[in-house]
Structure formats: C-alpha cells, structure tokens
Amino acid sequence: MSDNKNHDLGPLAIAGVTPYEVQPNEEYMNDKQKAHFKKILEAWRDQLRKEVERTVDHMNDETANYPDPLDRATQEEEFALELRARDRERKLIKKIEKTIRKIDSDDFGYCEDCGEEIGIKRLEARPTAELCVNCKNLAEIKEKQGV
C-alpha cells in the first residue's frame, strides 16, 4: 500500500493553499477565485496520478509467484483492493479534469440544476461539486425514495 502522507489530506491541503478569503463586494467566480480553484484541482489531480504510478510500480515490484496457494491468494486480494481504489481515483481524475475545463469555459461554480452559486466554502470542501446544497439534498432525498 501507499505510504504517501498526502493521501488522506483534503484538496486544499494537497494544494498547499488556505481557504479563500472573499473580499467585500467581490464578484463571484472572478479570475482570482477561478485561479484558486484551478490550483487546488490541478494539485489534487497530480497527486492522484502519482498514486496510480506508485500502484503500478508497487505491483510490478511485488509480483511474486508464490508456491503456496494461500500466499498467492493473499497477494491477489491485496492487488484487487489496490486496483479498485485506483479505479475510483481514475474516475475522480476524469471528474477533476472535467471541472478544470468548466473553469476554463467560465461554467464553474454554478449549480447544474438551478443555476445558483454553489458557494466558495462548499467548493473548497468538494471542488468537483456540480450542485448547490439545496439541489444536492433534494437529489439525495429522491435517490432514497427511489424516484
């Protein structure tokens, strides 16, 4: 498994940035805010890519042809768990890249359902958020009800 200290850090910590301080009368999603989020997203994406590379290296280095079926099964299970984690990260990398494209096309920071501002604090907690809190809550309620 990875010994990367950044693995459990949030996106702001990975990027080495502090929470954004909104100035009075500051326009939402101005160039400064977009640059802040782009830095966070790019650092997060790069960290995830390094994790994927480490997994490939680890699996190449650790692959052994164990004569004992239990040892071989244990190794295969460890690899399967790592691959599932990396698959989730691969999907997250794609979502991060989609979000970076939204920043570049000025579509970032607004709810895909209602068009309202998602908000700086929510985006810092979850930079790939596509819904405002109200629409996300409504979507979760609908999901629980099977709608």
pLDDT tens by residue, the chain, 147 residues: 444 444 567 899 999 999 999 999 999 999 999 999 999 999 999 999 998 888 777 777 666 677 788 877 888 888 888 888 888 999 999 999 999 999 999 999 999 999 999 999 999 999 999 999 999 999 999 999 987
Q: Considering the domain boundaries, does residue 29 fall inside one?
A: yes
Q: How many domains does the chain contain in total?
A: 1
Which domain, by its residues, includes 67? 12-108
Q: Considering the domain boundaries, does residue 136 fall inside one?
A: no
Question: What CATH number has the domain bearing residue 69?
Answer: 1.20.120.910
Q: Considering the domain boundaries, does residue 138 fall inside one?
A: no
pTM of the model: 0.80
Q: Considering the domain boundaries, does residue 115 fall inside one?
A: no
Q: Considering the domain boundaries, does residue 120 fall inside one?
A: no
Q: Which of 114, 107, 106 is nearest to 131 (CA)?
A: 114
Q: Considering the domain boundaries, does residue 132 fall inside one?
A: no
Q: Are 124 and 40 in contact (CB under 8 A)?
A: yes
